[in-house]
């Protein structure tokens, strides 16, 4: 290549790892002779000196360098590396660096959560299990944040990743589910995304949501149909907070009327009520009173569906007895005995379950 030194060793990892200074000198000389040979800067690992040479050679070479350089598990200049990787849309690599950097990373939570949000739309077709593991690790840290700006973006990230994360972490500990539990407004937003209005119209979304309406709608539908324990009506003592439950349900119906979603809100309410824990005090009279007050066959049906689905799927041999079924029926009979005098709708729910 005109320097009197064979070019081949420059491409070998040992050349960079064990002769960093020599590699930098050669790279600088090559760039001076021919910018097209800037590919030689793509070292097997990140070297600060090479990054500076690439940067000094102009934006094009700098982008080529950052699109190709290997920077895994670095302990050097982490903050700058992450930002340069993000600038060339290498969000997966940036997330790896944040998770595995040696020592503390001086990147604020807001910047990290925005990287995660951008990753969702840049890498939707190439998410790896390792990426999801790293994101889960970062979410566990971000869920502790009390910064309103962080929380706002974090809720969107956890909403969009709900289907991916629901079998890998306790979703009840996420900021998204916690916000659902105290904010009926957020729940009705999911309903608006998942279902058209009673008059057949559909609200106009803005920004990223407008461009990805189908994705948002699919996520909302999945959460409303299959999400478990989206709203906790239990207090710190593990007891049902009847007043809060009544307040939350009433607010949902008010919002559904306002947003023209009364035709579907019974599905949602039935699922929420069907997720109330079935402990030794089940069914609590507060739940029974709400069911009797609502007088909705749809709510009753979805409570039954939730109870049935909570049993999960089991596999048994062909000659195994029905002890499990008899145990379930006995428990339902106990529930029925508690409700048959005062709460006929709850009694019918248990009767129907017994017959299944």
**Tens of pLDDT along 210-223?**
677 888 899 999 99
- Alpha carbon of residue 49 to chain centroid: 38
CA–CA gap between residue 128 and residue 119 (Å, rounded): 12
HSE, side-chain direction, 13 A CA sphere, residue 137: 12
280 — pLDDT class (breaks 50, 70, 90)? confident
**Tens of pLDDT along 77-110?**
889 999 999 999 999 999 988 888 766 778 899 9
- For the chain, the average pLDDT equals 83
Q: What is the pLDDT of residue 163?
A: 92
**Tens of pLDDT along 176-187?**
999 999 999 999
- In angstroms, the Cα distances linking 276 to 43, 44, 137, 190 are 57, 55, 29, 20
HSE, side-chain direction, 13 A CA sphere, residue 285: 3
| Across 42-56, 147-161, 325-339, least confident range | 42-56
- pLDDT at residue 15 tops 80: no
| Across 11-20, 85-94, 151-160, least confident range | 11-20
The answer to whether residues 92 and 69 touch, using CB atoms and an 8 Å cutoff, is no
13 — pLDDT class (breaks 50, 70, 90)? very low
- pLDDT at residue 2 tops 60: no
Q: What is the pLDDT of residue 320?
A: 57
- pLDDT at residue 240 tops 70: yes
Q: What is the pLDDT of residue 129?
A: 84
- pLDDT at residue 263 tops 70: yes
Q: What is the pLDDT of residue 76?
A: 74
The candidate with the shortest Cα–Cα distance to 352, out of 246, 315, 339, 272, is 339
**Tens of pLDDT along 310-355?**
764 445 554 555 666 788 888 989 999 999 889 999 999 999 998 8
Q: Which residues contact 172 (CB under 8 A, 6 or more apart)?
A: 178, 229, 232
**Tens of pLDDT along 112-122?**
999 999 998 87
**Tens of pLDDT along 292-308?**
999 999 999 999 999 98
64 — pLDDT class (breaks 50, 70, 90)? confident
Choice between 5 and 154, residue whose per-residue pLDDT is larger: 154
Choice between 45 and 284, residue whose per-residue pLDDT is larger: 284
Q: What is the pLDDT of residue 16?
A: 52
List of long-range contacts for 13-22, beta carbons under 8 Å, 24+ apart: 13/44, 13/45, 16/43, 16/44, 16/45, 16/47, 17/44, 17/45, 20/47, 20/49
Q: What percentage of the chain reaches a pLDDT higher than 70? A: 79
Q: What is the pLDDT of residue 3?
A: 37
Q: What is the pLDDT of residue 208?
A: 64
Q: Which residues contact 28 (CB under 8 A, 6 or more apart)?
A: 53
């Amino acid at each position: 290549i005109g320097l009197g030194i064979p070019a081949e060793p420059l491409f070998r990892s040992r050349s960079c790892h064990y002769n960093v200074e020599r590699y930098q000198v050669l790279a600088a000389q090559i760039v001076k002779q021919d910018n097209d040979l800037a590919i030689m800067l793509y070292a097997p690992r990140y070297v600060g000196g090479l990054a500076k040479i690439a940067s000094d050679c102009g934006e094009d070479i700098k982008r080529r360098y950052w699109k190709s350089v290997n920077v895994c598990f670095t302990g050097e200049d982490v903050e700058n590396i992450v930002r340069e990787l993000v600038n060339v849309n290498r969000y997966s690599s940036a997330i790896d660096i944040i998770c595995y950097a040696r020592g503390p990373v001086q990147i604020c939570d807001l910047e990290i959560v925005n990287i995660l949000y951008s990753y969702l739309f840049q890498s939707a077709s190439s998410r790896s299990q390792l990426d999801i593991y790293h994101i889960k690790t970062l979410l566990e840290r971000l869920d502790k944040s009390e910064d309103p700006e962080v929380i706002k973006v974090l809720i969107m990230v956890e909403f969009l990743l709900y289907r991916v994360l629901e079998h890998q972490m306790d979703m009840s500990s996420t900021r998204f589910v916690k916000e659902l539990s105290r904010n009926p407004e957020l729940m009705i937003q999911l309903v608006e995304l998942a279902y058209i209005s009673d008059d057949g119209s559909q609200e106009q979304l803005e920004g990223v949501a407008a461009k990805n309406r189908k994705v948002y709608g699919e996520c909302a539908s999945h959460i409303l149909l299959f999400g478990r324990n989206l709203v906790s009506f239990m207090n710190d003592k593990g007891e049902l907070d009847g007043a809060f439950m009544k307040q939350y349900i009433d607010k949902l119906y008010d919002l559904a009327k306002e947003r023209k979603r009364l035709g579907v809100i019974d599905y949602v309410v039935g699922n929420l009520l069907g997720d109330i824990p079935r402990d030794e005090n089940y069914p609590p009279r507060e739940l029974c009173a709400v069911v009797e007050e609502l007088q909705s066959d749809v709510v009753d049906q979805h409570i039954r569906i939730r109870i049935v689905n909570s049993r999960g799927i089991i596999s048994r041999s062909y000659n195994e007895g029905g002890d499990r079924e008899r145990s379930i029926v006995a428990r339902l009979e106990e529930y029925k005995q508690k409700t048959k005098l005062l709460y006929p709708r709850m009694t019918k729910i248990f009767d129907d379950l017994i017959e299944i």
